[in-house]
Amino acid sequence: MKVELKWSRLRLGVIVTGLLLLTAAPAFSQGCSLCYTQAASSGSRMIQALKSGILILIVPPTLGTIAMIFIVHRKRNQTRRTDSDNPTSDW
């Protein structure tokens, strides 16, 4: 029964993630016409600086999120209890 519940949660997570990715509106990133015109009219150095800036803004939060997921996953396995750990509990 626990295996079925685990797979059901995994399927639900995959479906929710897929829906979130599919419903992301790519048009929101093109909303600032000033940014678009500025980037389109700039030279190659400015375009390279813009790409570097985007990379600098994306990499640290991504690495932090991956590290947090890794730590939470490891701690979850360390603190999990079974019913045989505390047989006197009425809960």
DSSP classification of residue 63: H
Q: Note the pLDDT of residue 77.
A: 67
Cut 0.85: pTM above it: no
The answer to whether 47 and 39 have CB atoms below 8 angstroms apart is yes
pLDDT band at 84 (very low <50, low <70, confident <90, very high): low
Q: Note the pLDDT of residue 64.
A: 94
Summarize pLDDT for 7-23 with one digit per residue, the tens.
788 888 899 888 877 77
The answer to whether 39 and 49 have CB atoms below 8 angstroms apart is no
DSSP string, 7-61: HHHHHHHHHHHHHHHHS--GGGGG--HHHHHHHHHS-HHHHHHHHHHHHHHHHHH
Average pLDDT over residues 55-81: 85
